[in-house]
Amino acid sequence: MLKGSEALEESKQRIIQEFVPGKQVTLAHIIANPIKDLYPKLGMLQDEGAIGILTITPSEGAMIAADVASKAANISIGFVDRFNGSLVILGDVAAVEAGIRDVMGMLCDKMGFAKAEISRS
């Protein structure tokens, strides 16, 4: 039986978040026809069109990706997290695809980021 501080230590959970050096796009995905319930669950005000999701390391790459995607196509930025490297873009399927392709071109082809295949559902 554990007593006092031993019991307290055993009940604590620790989460360790580790970043490794390197540049990569770890996820590039297009949800072409999301169900309507998905938008509010993600906190999105727009409730139609495709959703593009990118995860980028280092996380500052998300800021670059947001800029490139918004200049490449008629999309809106649903979410950008400069601390975790997540970016969500919204628009019609062709615009979201064009935005993600231009982001991949800038980050991977011009800046040397490792490339993830663009997936689609």
Nearest Cα neighbor of 101 from 75, 63, 79, 68 is 68
Question: Sorting pLDDT into bands at 50, 70 and 90, what band is 96?
Answer: very high
pTM above 0.75, yes or no: yes
pLDDT at residue 43, rounded to an integer: 86
Q: Give the chain's domains with CATH numbers.
A: 21-120 (3.30.70.1710)
Distance set, CA 46 to CA 11, 13, 71, 83 (Å): 42, 37, 19, 24
Biggest CA-to-CA distance, the chain: 62
pLDDT at residue 22, rounded to an integer: 82
Q: Cis peptide before 58, with omega less than 30 degrees from 0?
A: yes
Tell me the residue type at 86: S
